[in-house]
Structure 1
């Protein structure tokens, strides 16, 4: 449900085209017979004039399939979004299929930070520092061809011991490489869902203060109010700024893994 519905009584119309949309989820505790962790999905767009705009909030049931993703994207289309040039997500397996149905020309970019952070599960902790160092040339490559060669070099070194790491990257390859085709100034914006993380952190603090919610409607209302507190104008707009650089990704991921 779009968050502005609590304020206006009706979903807010959206722009026809967005260059980039980021999608991610924050988990909250909702009582449905029993208290369970449920995802609340949020979408943030970068507008053509350089602003971030919160598009909506949707409550999921925990089992995210193509049908649910298609419902979210259909909601955005019904509110006026005719096209999205790039959609950045954290690896939701059903999302690319849904995007292809709603906006066939949209490029799906998988969050590189999430992909890197998932790699330690395939290897021993004592090898992670070296594995992380050997993965860095892959995602800092100048283009997709160079990245592919470097992944082959990585697999030649580690494939016998940790073959699943290269396999995981190969399976995500079509959604990993799009950012490599852009200039670095653009690539450093679209390679990760970090743009949405500060908002999700605010949502998690708001949810934690309440313990758990009696219904998903109560959870959505609380997060909508948290959004209004962030931006009383009700549009969730903020001029785009970015202080991160994609070349420093490995250090943040190494500290997370440790």
Structure 2
């Protein structure tokens, strides 16, 4: 069984395509914090050069030489963080001590470097990070702002007697709800189209997950779209809710912001 970043598109894993995109912008030095099934990432890139090279091998002496290759000029550092550590823990694992050791290693090799890397944490690509401490401080501030803003929004709706629901029982939204300490008292339920999620509860917040039909039966005045990376697609799919019931759609990042009616919504 393979996890998503190793699934192939056009003969190459998704992770390769992500790194290829970074490399087109000159970012070729990457650090991957490997957790669950991280060995598959190591195996792929360990063998990648071999698979894209002409080699000579002397079976008698064991001498092995790469004659030429067509692999990309990427430098990849893969660090094991343990299979049970989640994304936040992997960011913490990538401490200043680790970054300092990597800088010293590359300086000793005479490589010019800004002390940063393309950070791929929790098997997710984040960004090129010139200084990990600056990055984590900025990330903390963004997380605090998102959580405080969401809590203020939900508290305001409750005080005005306005109904709110959410869509998308995915990990990113669950993490935000838990960090903001949102419970079913402020957000009665989350809808999701996946049958295996329905009838269950979000971990931590214990908010019920219900089928999309719930929105037809009891349309809310406000709908938070928790998977903010695909908010436009979800808004288009649920356009009938805004058209027939006047529900307002909101994205939650970087703060609750009402989505303007898209062309798809207006045409639905």
> TM-score, normalization: structure 2?
0.24
**Which structure features the higher share of helix residues?**
1
